[in-house]
Amino acid sequence: MYEYITIIIVSVWITISLIYGGLLWMKRKEVPDRSRTYLSVLCFLTAIGISNYIVAAIRHDVADYSHQLLLPELTIGGLWAISMFVCYPIEVMRPRGLRGRWLALLFLPSLLATLPAVFGMHFQALHSWADLWAHIGEFNVLLRLLCLAMLTFMSLILLFIPYNWRKSSADYRWIRRTTFVAQGITILFYANVLSNLPIFFYLHMLWGLCAGIFFYYFELVVRLLPPAEVEQKPSEPSQTEYAVSEAADRDDYWPRICQVMDEWEEWRNPNTTVETVSRALGTNRNYVGRCIREHTGMTFNDYMNRKRIDFIAAQLRRDPQQDHKTLYFEAGFRSRTAAYRNFVKFMGTSPTDFAARL
């Protein structure tokens, strides 16, 4: 029964991976970076890897092969897969930044872990935790455990990579979600290679399918691409500059909020939140939110989105033929659905109809 369920799940997984990979490969030139190339290659390689795993399992005896702990093919292959996986979000965060020595450095752990197997090192078969503890000091076992440790590091690496939001299609929310996806893949992979329970293999495959749907939807429906030349705004004010404004008016935060929003145009930053503004002003989020509500009658998020929509509308009045998606990006949105929804909310019509009337 287990073998039949496994074959069905793996067949579906391979089919969908190949479809996703093919569609993304055909649309790879629509983006100004290599993100879709990396994602499509990942789909192809994982489909090939899983196929090879199933073939090897059938060749060696499915029951014995699939129930081993820390299978070298899975453990080292998992490190290669997570390395290829993080190439995609890094390229989204830092367009055209992952090349040369940085790309080599990213795959160096996977390459070093593979070399012993290439040169014929024997890997001890582990069928239980007792076997694992009995051989814990052997290099081939330590190598596989080190691969698992590197998996954890690779799944968290996105949180430590600085990125320029002026040129990136990502924001902090998307980065956190992508890190969560990577952590889910890693945890279920651990459970799969460290146990004999088929349920973890199924969950790992299911999580991978959901991740593929998430990124495919992001690429083809949600993602806004940066224009070829993004206008460079002045850098954010320093704490000293904020302090000067603070000295001018200590009783009302509204003048300082206006300075941050109007002079420095913080609404263009997709990562600006009431917390970031309140920290910059040296107060708490409640004061900032209450001040904005008293002066505008809007919440902080509505106030930010209203400024973004006003910018888009002003640009369309100048030139109704402008590309809407480029304006969405320049205004601080990183989702075309969010931009469209807010435009309809504040202007009472769609961007297309608004431009047509002009």
pLDDT in tens, 212-241: 999 999 998 899 988 765 444 544 444 434
Residue 176 in tokens: 């956190």
Q: Which of 197, 222, 247 corresponds to the end of one domain?
A: 222
Asked if residue 91 lies in contact with residue 35, where contact means CB atoms within 8 angstroms, the answer is yes
Q: Are 70 and 128 in contact (CB under 8 A)?
A: no
pLDDT, position 92: 93
In a domain, 227, yes or no: no
pLDDT of residue 249: 47
In terms of domains, do 48 and 104 share one? yes
Q: Give bridge partners of residue 183 from the DSSP assignment.
A: none
- Work out how many domains the chain is built from and give that number: 2
One domain, residues 162 and 80 = yes
With cut-offs at 50, 70 and 90, classify the pLDDT of residue 248.
Answer: very low
* Band of residue 140 on the pLDDT scale cut at 50, 70, 90: very high
Q: Which residues contact 156 (CB under 8 A, 6 or more apart)?
A: 179, 182, 183
158, 86 Cβ separation under 8 angstroms: yes
* Paired tokens of 237: 């004010």
pLDDT over threshold 50, residue 323? yes
Indicate yes or no: pTM above 0.75.
yes
Is residue 59 within 8 Å of 87, Cβ to Cβ? no
Question: Which of 222, 249, 283 lies at the terminal end of a domain, its last residue?
Answer: 222
pLDDT tens digits along 54-104: 776 666 555 555 567 898 888 998 999 999 999 999 999 998 888 889 999
Q: What is the pLDDT of residue 234?
A: 45
Average pLDDT over residues 153-164: 89
194 shares a domain with 91: yes
Mean of pLDDT values over 129-144: 92
How confident is residue 197, by pLDDT bands cut at 50, 70 and 90? Answer: confident
pLDDT digit string, tens, across residues 31-57: 888 999 999 999 999 888 888 877 766
CA distance 203 to 220: 26
Domain region containing 148: 2-222
Tokens of 202: 């199924």
Instruction: Please give the pLDDT value at position 127.
Output: 84
Domain-ending residue, one of 191, 222, 253:
222
Mean pLDDT, the chain, as a whole number?
86
**What is the predicted pLDDT for the residue at 66?**
56
- Contact in structure between 18 and 43 (CB atoms under 8 Å): yes
Residues 160, 189 share a domain: yes
Q: Which of 67-76, 129-138, 247-256, 264-273 has the lowest mean pLDDT?
A: 247-256
pLDDT over threshold 50, residue 246: no
pLDDT(185) > 50: yes
Rg (CA), the chain: 25
Q: Quick one: 125 and 52 in the same domain? A: yes
Q: Which helix (H) or strand (E) holds 277?
A: helix 274-281
